[in-house]
Structure 1
Amino acid sequence: MMQVSESYNQKKSLFNAMNRFIGAVNNMDQTVMVPTLLRDVPLSGDSTAANSPAYFAQDDDMYSSYVLLKSIRDDIKWGVVEGGVVEGDERRKEKVEVTEDDLEKQFHFHLKGLHAVLSKLTCKADTLTSRYTEEIGRRN
């Protein structure tokens, strides 16, 4: 089988972004042996939470980030479960008139947004994994 090297565009593909995110969360899941220990882990190293990356700012602790990342991974892999109440569901149910001319623009807008979000979530999973590893090393 002939191997094709990834071009710049392939590295920027949504499929590869999803695979990188799923891989980062799988690595996080395999590394974090005792998830409840994350409740005691501060959002950043030895400094205050104010210096933590922006994608951790809204979380109470790293455990909630861990649960969120695993949930998003499962939604990507298996689909979103119908009947689950998610914040903003009411807004999504509203019908929006879309013209044929707008579809391509909307697709590209949402594709770029999804790619950006997946990149941030991948960084979040990688950061959480390294913070857990640091904390376990300090405790041992």
Structure 2
Amino acid sequence: MMQMPELLHSQKNSLFTAMNRFIGAVNNMDQTVMVPSLLRDVPLQKRDPDHGSYLRDAEADMYTYYTHLKSIRNEIEWGVLREDQRRKERAANTAVNAANLEAEGEDGNDLEQLLQYHLKGLHGVLAKLTSQANNLTNRYKQEIGIAGWGQ
């Protein structure tokens, strides 16, 4: 079955695809980083957009970032809250949202625009997190002297 080019393009930019890219990058990072404790006290470097050089992040080391990326992956895969907390929040949010929709008179178009806004933002965040997981993996390889392997 042949797919239309625009369908392939929309699948490439889907939220599901972005989440899978991020999860794949974190899984690759997790498989590459055999000894996470080696990341402790290794300064995290961020690229300076104005000069193209790297800046050190004094507040975080690579280990902290490694655990943070893994935690985000777990939240995407398993959810943020336990089920009993979700039920309570859903019940409270349903009542609040119904009242807000009635009071503000929002229609389907406004909700669709709001969804589009948040999807674009989430897509951008996932792309940045994916890039950061890939960068951490490459930095780890450099630190232990295996840069260039598996590329």
CA distance in 2, matches of 1:3, 1:59: 50
User: TM-score, normalized by length of structure 1?
Assistant: 0.73
CA distance in 2, matches of 1:81, 1:10: 28
CA distance in 2, matches of 1:31, 1:73: 16
Q: CA deviation at 1:40?
A: 2.7
Alignment-mate amino acid for residue 81 of structure 2: V
CA distance in 2, matches of 1:111, 1:58: 32
CA distance in 2, matches of 1:133, 1:124: 14
User: Greater Rg, structure 1 or structure 2?
Assistant: 2
1:14 matched residue in structure 2: 15
Query: Which structure shows the bigger proportion of residues in strand conformation?
Result: 2
Query: Could you say if the C-alpha distance between residues 76 and 3 of structure 1 is closer, same or farther in structure 2, counting changes exceeding 3 Å?
Result: farther
Alignment-mate amino acid for residue 82 of structure 2: E
In the alignment, structure 2 segments of 5+ residues that lack a partner are 47-52, 84-92, 147-151
2:79 matched residue in structure 1: 79
2:119 matched residue in structure 1: 111
Q: CA deviation at 1:44?
A: 3.0
Alignment of 1:85-100 (within 5 A): 95=96, 97-98=100-101, 99-100=106-107
In the alignment, structure 1 segments of 5+ residues that lack a partner are 84-92
CA distance in 2, matches of 1:123, 1:38: 18
Q: Tell me if the contact between 2:43 and 2:57 (Cα under 8 Å) persists in the aligned partners.
A: no
User: TM-score, normalized by length of structure 2?
Assistant: 0.68
1:32 matched residue in structure 2: 33
Q: Tell me if the contact between 2:43 and 2:60 (Cα under 8 Å) persists in the aligned partners.
A: no
Q: CA deviation at 1:102?
A: 2.0
How many residue pairs get aligned? The number is: 120
Q: After superposition, what is the alpha-carbon deviation per residue over 1:52-104, rounded to whole angstroms, capped at 9, x for unaligned? A: 4xxx8585111111111111111111111239xxxxxxxxx7x5634224211
In terms of mean alpha carbon deviation, does 129-138 or 117-126 score higher?
Answer: 129-138
Q: After superposition, what is the alpha-carbon deviation per residue over 1:19-70, rounded to whole angstroms, capped at 9, x for unaligned? A: 000000000000001111111322239xxxx724xxx858511111111111
Alignment-mate amino acid for residue 131 of structure 1: R
SS in 1 for 2:144: helix
Query: Could you say if the C-alpha distance between residues 115 and 59 of structure 1 is closer, same or farther in structure 2, counting changes exceeding 3 Å?
Result: farther
* Higher RCO structure, 1 or 2 (CA under 8 Å, sep 6+): 1
Alignment of 1:45-64 (within 5 A): 51-52=54-55, 57=57, 60-64=60-64
